[in-house]
């Protein structure tokens, strides 16, 4: 018989970068309690694209993942969110509980000619 996970609002700490240089890797970190597994989902702000998922590595001060520089070389900004799994729970961060959009967006810095 399948097991069902309870959906929960996630309590976490994450500060999105204010921007990035195209072609540079983005280090993404999340601090959260009671997580057994955290997955980062990201894509360009382009509705024709699917999200890419990467498992975040657990560290002493939270979870870390990298969006590769090859990915940020695009003309599009990057949007992302977190899937947080506990023992028998699952939730998304930021989710609608934390603001008007259920994801973060980072814009590339304007590069002068």
Counted domains in the chain: 1
∠ CA 64-97-15 to the nearest 5 degrees? 35
Q: Per-residue pLDDT tens for 16-67?
A: 999 999 999 999 999 998 799 999 999 999 999 999 999 999 998 899 999 9
Q: Per-residue pLDDT tens for 57-96?
A: 999 889 999 999 999 999 999 999 999 999 888 999 998 8
CATH number at residue 18: 2.60.40.10
Instruction: Give the domain range for residue 10.
Output: 6-106
Question: What is the SS3 assignment for 69?
Answer: helix
Residue 2 confidence (pLDDT) above 90: no
> What's the pTM?
0.89
Query: Does residue 111 lie in a domain region?
Result: no
Query: Does residue 112 lie in a domain region?
Result: no
Judged on CB neighbours under 10 Å (0-12, 13-18, 19+), 30 is buried
Query: Does residue 84 lie in a domain region?
Result: yes
Alpha-carbon span 36 to 87, nearest angstrom: 6
45 neighbors 105 (Cβ within 8 angstroms): yes
Query: Does residue 72 lie in a domain region?
Result: yes
């Amino acid at each position: 018989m399948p097991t069902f996970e309870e959906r929960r609002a996630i309590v976490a700490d994450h500060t999105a970068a204010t921007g990035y240089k195209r072609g540079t890797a983005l280090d993404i970190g999340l601090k959260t309690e009671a997580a057994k597994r955290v997955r980062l989902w990201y894509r360009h702000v382009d509705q024709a694209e699917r999200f890419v998922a990467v498992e975040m590595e657990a560290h002493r001060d939270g979870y870390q993942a990298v969006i590769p520089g090859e990915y940020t070389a695009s003309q599009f900004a990057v949007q992302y969110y977190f899937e947080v799994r506990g023992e028998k729970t699952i939730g998304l961060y930021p989710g609608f509980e934390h603001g008007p959009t259920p994801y973060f967006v980072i814009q590339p810095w304007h590069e002068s000619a």
